[in-house]
Amino acid sequence: MGSPVGGPAPAITAEGLTKIYRTRAGEVRALDGLDLQVPEGSVLALLGPNGAGKTTTVRILATLLRPDSGYASVLGYDVVRDAQKLRRVIGLSGQYAAVDENLTGRENLWMFGRLYQVSSPTAKERAGELLDQFDLSGAADRPVKTYSGGMRRRLDLAAALIGRPRLLFLDEPTTGLDPRSRIGMWDVIRRLVREGATLLLTTQYLEEADALANSIAVVDSGKIIATGTADELKSQVGGERVEVIVHDPNRLDEALRKVSDCCLAEATVDRHTRKLTAPASGGARQLVTVIRALDDAGIAIDDIGLRRPTLDDVFLSLTGHAAELAESESEPATAVPAGSTA
Amino acid sequence: MSSAVSSADRPTREEHGSALSDTLVVTWRNLKRIPRIPELAIFAILQSIMFVLLFAFVFGGAIPLPGGGSYREFLMPGIFAQTLAFAAATTAIGMVDDMQKGLIDRFRSLPMSRSAFITGRTVSDVIYNLGILIVLMLSGLAVGWRVHEGVTRFLAGVALTLLFAYAMSWVGVWLGMLVPTVEVGQQVAFTAIFPLTFLSNAFVPLPTLPGWLQPVADWNPVSAITAALRELWGNPNPYGTSSFPSEHPVLMTLIWTAVFIAVFAPLGVRRYRATSK
């Protein structure tokens, strides 16, 4: 992943990107004036729920899609005008493993290497190296249709690397993988990062952005709504918080007042999960105060704890809705806790 | 590296440079699929043999040829034409199958020639169709079909058949990008091609058709290739009225293939470039 001498120019620049999809049901504004800057040698995670515009952004930057308006350049190449030149220096690994089922792993890598305009012997050699590196040597000469989901994703990532790209796009690299394969994929991505790859990855998993990226751009409704490191974003929602799960839903409001009084701040409530959250500037001491106040009032609790903010909280505070819920607004909330029946 | 600014839509010099090798790589990839899914080829071959046997034995006795001659010798060029008209369906199905998978995004994101993906498809399909044609010819020989005009005219006929199949493949490329799924592709291709093959001189002599239908069948590209093969190989070729297509079947076939390629190749390439833009 030899990235060239880091000039002042950013690896990715996007200004005012818009994209509208026309469907039978009407227009969907996938991107609504998206701006983005990614320095060379960094790892940026585009974080957002399904339908936020992450994949559309990646497809535009990787020359698969033309923006309706706005401008984007990657490694100094205009994504529309210099598309063919840009394709030589980027790699893309998408949401679905884009490898040929009927070819073997080795044949796939050789083929994509050739189409990257790498000579046949070099493509063969590089395919062998990547198969080793991604733990696929044992299956290298089997057709891909016999591979597991995790193996296909690793092969897909290897295919994105066959042309030694200077910049790599990973669109939801772990979506649909089981937890073990996901951790395996993380290891592979971390290794690429250590080797100095410039990487743009999209994810709807907050912990994934936290684990892999050194900066995060939060996307919602086709716009970037916040950028920063994981810590910077977390500090936006404040420090530690106390979280209480109240046993009896009928006493939620009473508990809400008690907790707000103890913390000297308005607590928030999630009625489905009977969860109260309030900033706890006093740390553990404040936790004790809350427990005492609730106990004195005779309000039974199922759980209580002190929690550092997660990126979920960030998303909630930035957008007013939870990341996971944003995609399924039409679906009825199903998180009805047991024991809440009237 | 050229410093000239290149348009994304206009092929650059660089693109032309890799077009041939890219096409060969894509062709290689498509041909690799054949032994990996042997059922596809086996059933295509069985189907071809079945057609030869069904028409030779079922219709063979019922259809008298004006002017006499062996029905089986009359039939075989028709069978070749019919089977290779279905090259359009083979290509369409291959295209839809590829377009439906995420794989197409990878091809698009590569610095490869924009047209290599579809040109490679048409080239591999011609090679596949040559295989099918050989099986058909062997079956034909088994039921009594013969070529009477020497090796040169025989090879000319084979070349013409493959050229026709290649042109039909370009129709298939375009069709394959219009339809959403393999199943729809199959339906569309068969609905379009069945009438094309039956409204022709492939299985029945033209004079036996109703009068109003005869000009339609006469100008049908399938009739042109069928008559061309009969003429080249000295197989019975009864015609009712004299018309331009019936008098110049080889020329007519060349015109049709040129028209198909000239119309559908640019349409297909344009559609491929435009998809999901």
The residue in chain B having the minimum alpha-carbon distance to the alpha carbon of residue A85 is B111
| Domain limits, CATH 3.30.70.2190, in chain A | 239-308
Is the Cβ pair A65, B277 closer than 8 Å?
yes
The chain B residue lying nearest A77, using CA atoms, is B5
What type of residue sits at position A242? Answer: V
Predicted local distance difference test score (pLDDT) of residue A321: 66
Q: Chain A within 8 Å of B33 (Cβ-Cβ)?
A: yes
Nearest alpha-carbon partner for B21 in A117, A165, A127, A108: A117
Give the highest mean pLDDT range of B52-66, B134-148, B179-193: B134-148
Q: Report the 10 Å Cβ neighbour count for B238.
A: 18
Residues 6+ apart with CB under 8 A from A116: A88, A123, A162, A163, B110, B111, B112
* pLDDT average, residue stretch B130-138: 92
B114: closest chain A residue by CA:
A84
CATH superfamily for domain A12-234: P-loop containing nucleotide triphosphate hydrolases (3.40.50.300)
Residue B10 belongs to a domain: no
Q: Token match 């607004």: residue?
A: A329
d(C-alpha A210, C-alpha B182), whole Å? 41
Name the residue with higher pLDDT: B99 or A95.
B99
Q: By residue range, what is the domain housing residue B164?
A: 18-274
Inside any domain, residue B191: yes
Q: At what angle do helices B71-85 and B38-54 cross, to 10 degrees?
A: 150
Residue labelled with tokens 């504004």? A29
Q: Is the pLDDT of residue B155 over 80?
A: yes
Assess B15–A contact: CB distance below 8 Å, yes or no: yes
For A9-35, write each residue's pLDDT tens digit. Answer: 689 999 999 999 888 888 888 999 999
Q: Which amino acid is at B185?
A: G
**Taking 90 as the threshold, does the pLDDT of residue B255 lie above it?**
yes
B7 is a domain residue: no
Please answer yes or no on whether A64 and B105 come within 8 Å at the CB atom. yes
In this predicted structure, the answer to whether residue B171 has a pLDDT above a threshold of 70 is yes
Residue A48's pLDDT is 87
Contact B252, B86 (CB under 8 A): no
Compare CB distances from B6 to A66, A84, A117 and report the shortest one's residue: A84
In angstroms, the CA A136 to CA A153 distance is 11
CA-based radius of gyration for chain B: 20
CA distance A284 to chain B (A): 51
Q: What is the DSSP string of A31-99?
A: EEEEEEEE-TT-EEEEE--TTSSHHHHHHHHTTSS--SEEEEEETTEETTTTHHHHHTTEEEE-SS--S
Count: domains in chain B: 1
Residues of chain A numbered 125-144 and touching chain B (CB < 8 Å): 143
The pLDDT assigned to A309 comes to 74
Query: CB–CB of A102 and B7 under 8 A?
Result: no
- Is A330's Cβ below 8 Å from some Cβ in B? no
Regions of chain A where pLDDT drops below 50 = 1-6, 325-342
Q: Does domain A239-308 have CATH number 1.10.357.10?
A: no
First to last CA, chain A: 61
Complex confidence, ipTM:
0.84
Does B151 contact chain A (CB < 8 Å)?
no
Domain for residue B42, yes or no?
Answer: yes
Among B15, B25, B33, B106, pick the best mutation site for testing chain A contact (most A Cβ within 10 A): B106
Cα nearest neighbour of A19 on chain B? B277
Higher pLDDT, B205 or B155: B155
Give ranges for CATH 3.40.50.300 in chain A: 12-234
Kindly list the distances between the CA atom of residue A197 and the CA atoms of A41, A44, A65, A117, A129, in Å, as whole numbers in the listed order: 6, 11, 24, 21, 17
- In this structure, is residue B238 part of a structural domain? yes
Return d(Cα B243, Cα B249) in angstroms, integer: 10
Instruction: Check if the beta carbon of residue B60 is closer than 8 Å to that of residue B71.
Output: yes
Please give, rounded to a whole number of angstroms, the shortest distance from the CA of A55 to a CA of chain B: 12
